[in-house]
Amino acid sequence: MTPEINLLLCCSTTKIEPLKAEEVQSLVQQELDWPKLIRLATSHGVKPLLYQNLSKICPEAVPPAILTQLQKDFRTNALRNLHLTKELLKILDIFTEHNIPALCFKGPTLAVSTYGDLSLRQFSDLDILIHERDLVKARDLMLNQGFQMRFHVIELTEKEEAAFIGSKNIHQFVRECAYEMENKQGNVLLEIHWEVIPKYFAFPLKPEYLWENSQTVTLLGTNVANLSPEDTLLLLCIHGAKDCWDKLNRVCDIAELVRTHPQLAWEKVLEQAKRQGSDRVLLHGLLLAHKLLGTSLPKLVWQKIKRDSTIGAIATQAQKWLFCKRQERPNGMQQSLFHLQIQPRWRDKLWYTFNLSVTPTPSDWALLPHANLPPVFYYLLRPLRIFRKQAVYKESPGQT
């Protein structure tokens, strides 16, 4: 690894140990590409941690312009996080007024409960879990508050968008199980979830279970429902693997959670992961945190890791992707193969393949937006659309 990456890894923690501090002091004496370091910290979402540790350990060794930029960005992030937290509390108040129970995860709640400081974690959106029965009601409330639906893969006309919003079963076409909404100013991105795991994964991290184990965290003097540390750990590992570990901050979240919760119920976490088929996901995420950030893992976890040689190979692949060049990031096929590899049970592999192939998306719905057809029709339509798309692609050899 380059000196810039090593320095970033050393500083990607809220509590730096003496030996790591010495390593930081040694690294900053080398001929560093400081702009590259800033770019890395930005793309990996760990700039606040980089600034905090450099400013505490060796501010005199950092070029003044670099330190000033980091300080400015730190303050900007702190103010943005404060703004998003206030917006979250407003949204929760609205939901409470309309009898919509809400459970928060990631975002501000993770910053406070795991990092211990709202300003030390970078986040760009607000994630709220509600019961599926309240989905349309919650969405309409946010629309009335000036929020707008976000569509990534399709461009809809005003009539099609109205049809999308007016549909009572359109959420069946959202495989990520979340509505993305944005306020008029474009500075608050809200994700309203009715599940926390995409449909194509078989991991049954069901909302009912999350609600039963939920805890509270205090945000700006207000108690907010939050996932338990054990459920949060599982969720972080699953989400990191889902995105093929595209950012270092995903690993930081795991490392900080383990460090700040020494009384974590490890037997419970491991048993739950084994039961739902996500033990390989959990273990390779923990191994990645150990390899990159020195996270201390209990003996019980190491025993599980050593029993499955595939876990080490998965963690090694994830580590390579984490710091590779943009053009070397995994493509769609490589991501799917990785997702199959992290699922040890054949039934889960088949579930993933089947659901990814037949579960409709908003793009499928957009083919006939006003037809008011039963959802089962689109389950039949999607494989045909994929087949046609591949056939057209093969007939166009010049296409890249």
* pLDDT level of residue 355 (50, 70, 90 thresholds): confident
The average pLDDT across 33-61 equals: 97
Cα(95)–Cα(120) distance, integer angstroms: 28
- Residues 67, 54 contacting (CB under 8 angstroms): yes
CA end-to-end span of the chain? 32
Question: Among 247, 266, 304, 191, which Cα is nearest to 46's?
Answer: 247
- Helix H or strand E segment including 127: strand 125-129
pLDDT digits (tens, 9 = 90+) for 310-330: 999 999 999 999 999 888 899
206 three-class SS: coil
Average pLDDT over residues 170-181: 73
- pLDDT tens for 339-352 read 999 999 899 999 88
Q: SS3 of 224, please?
A: strand
How do the domains of the chain map onto residue ranges? Answer: 1-62, 228-329, 354-394
- pLDDT band of residue 387 (cuts 50, 70, 90) is low
pLDDT digits (tens, 9 = 90+) for 111-143: 999 999 999 999 999 999 999 899 889 999 999
The order of strands in the sheet holding 125-129 is: 148-149, 178-182, 189-193, 125-129, 103-105, 222-226, 215-219
Strand partners, 78: none
**What's the CA gap between 66 and 63, in Å, rounded?**
5
- Choose among 160, 85, 156, 173: nearest CA to 125: 85
